Amino acid sequence: MFIAGANSPIKNTDYRVVLPFYAYAALAFLVATVLMMADVGAFTQHHFNAKALAITHTMALGWGTMMILGASHQLFPVLIEGKLHSNTLAYLSFIFGAIGIPMLVYAFYTFNFGLVAQAGAIAVNLAVISYLVNLTISIVQTKKHNVHAVSAFTAVIWLLVTTLVGLLLVYNFQTPIFTQASIHYLSLHAHLGIIGWFLLMIIGVGARLIPMFLISKYENQKTLWWIYWLVNGGLISFIIIFIYGGNFLITLIPVALIGAAVILFGRFIYKAYQKRIRKKVDEQVQTSMLSVALIGVPLVIIIGVILIFSTLGNQQFVTLYGFTIFFGWITAIILGMTFKTLPFIVWNKVYHDIAGLGKTPNPKELFKNNIFIANIISYLLGFVILSFGIINSNIIALNIGAGLLLLNALLYNINVFTILFHQSKIK
């Protein structure tokens, strides 16, 4: 999610490795909003329904995971102060993911967990394995360890655990592998990905990127290590409780640990904001900072569900919980960081070798800022209205919110592909 500068001693990852992930993720986001607009009634049903599963996995794998995989191929060399081991493994990661994700989404949409679903799940796991092997060898070669790199690497291990569990659950539909039906393990599978992959990766990377874009002098490695252990401790305690069970108070332990990590992260970002050198904060960084606040929303929801209902059986709040994760902080940070990272990658691609031949545009001029602002306005309105629609099972609000999020995805794609197809404009 960051590109080393032209004079950096770190070798940049080939843009041909990174850009396909951005394009794929943008289109996946559009597909997810189209699926949502086509059947908003899915948000009024039990969360284990075909349309909801298809939308969720399009967002989790096609949107969130593919974007992070692509961006981190560019960022990870910066974190470890070295270079990416293999472009071939990076290409394989994209190819396997690009093939496997639509197969899985189709299987969920048709609620058919036969060969297509199994092949899709295997391909997704091969994508993650290719990525993990690449990162592992890269780290071994450089021997550089810091909290950001460790967080990112640990997050990928949790991602592999998530996809392996998902693979077993797909097979469990046809041939019993576990003692209970796959739906019983849905919460475990989901939180392995949400906490272990998305939360740990976003916190680890966000703690490096947001201060960097703020040009902030603030740094506190001790706090970041505390956050790292709290997130992992929260997830491990959740797994133990899921397997062995626990009373009402015990179930609050993982929530308390994750909550403490989120509060510390929010405080870290606030301190970085206070000690920033760049006083004017652009809309892209503001959106990324908004995502930090949005991390707290699903936490508040889950605490409310546990305290008020003492169960996760209230479907409206369970659906809202998932929605605020995938369309909340995950989407917000991607919307912001895309336009802080992608323009630099494309600028280096187009202008790196000809920068001295004339006046080149600024990286931020590679996309339309007015479209970006409209993008964020439609996103915020759609997020709030659709959340209201979920709580109240209000079809009108669901349609309006889904329509605004579809508009948001369209505007996002316009700007992303404007950048991707940018041609040299030297004055």
Q: What is the 3-state secondary structure (H, E, C) of the chain?
A: CCCCCCCCCCCCCCHHHHHHHHHHHHHHHHHHHHHHHHCHHHHHCCCCCHHHHHHHHHHHHHHHHHHHHHHHHHHHHHHHCCCCCCHHHHHHHHHHHHHHHHHHHHHHHHCCCCHHHHHHHHHHHHHHHHHHHHHHHHHHHHCCCCHHHHHHHHHHHHHHHHHHHHHHHHHHHHCCCCCCCHHHHHHHHHHHHHHHHHHHHHHHHHHHHHHHHHCECCCCHHHHHHHHHHHHHHHHHHHHHHHHCCCCCCCHHHHHHHHHHHHHHHHHHHHHHHCECCCCCCHHHHHHHHHHHHCHHHHHHHHHHHHHHCCCCCHHHHHHHHHHHHHHHHHHHHHHHHHHHHHHHHHHHHHCCCHHHCCCCCHHHHCCHHHHHHHHHHHHHHHHHHHHHHHHCCHHHHHHHHHHHHHHHHHHHHHHHHHHCCCCCCC
pLDDT tens for residues 55-102? 999 999 999 999 999 998 888 888 887 788 889 999 999 999 999 999
Query: pLDDT value at position 84?
Result: 83
Please report whether residue 426 resides in a domain. no
Q: Could you give the number of structural domains in the chain?
A: 1
Domain range for 230 is 15-420
Q: Kindly state whether residue 5 falls inside one of the protein's structural domains.
A: no
Q: Is residue 286 part of a domain?
A: yes
The CATH number that applies at residue 163 is 1.20.210.10
10-residue stretch averages of pLDDT, the chain, 427 residues long: 40 81 97 93 80 93 95 84 86 96 95 93 97 90 81 94 95 85 87 94 90 88 95 95 81 90 93 88 88 86 64 70 91 92 88 68 88 95 94 92 96 96 75
Residue 99 is assigned to a structural domain of this protein: yes
- Give residue 305's pLDDT: 64
Partners of 216 in the beta sheet? Answer: 276
The encoded tokens of residue 24 equal 């794929």
Positive or negative, the Cα torsion across 131, 134, 136, 138? negative
The whole-number pLDDT of residue 308 equals: 58
pLDDT given for residue 3 in this prediction = 44
Question: Given this model, what pLDDT does residue 13 score?
Answer: 75
Amino acid at position 31, single letter: V
Query: Cα separations (Å) of 71 from 38, 131, 133, 202, 339?
Result: 30, 12, 17, 12, 12
Q: Is residue 1 a part of any domain in this protein?
A: no
Residue 182 lies in a domain: yes
pLDDT at 77: 83
Q: Are 92 and 44 in contact (CB under 8 A)?
A: no
Percentage of the chain lying above the pLDDT 90 cut:
53
Query: Residue 425 falls within a domain, yes or no?
Result: no
Residue 156 covered by a domain: yes
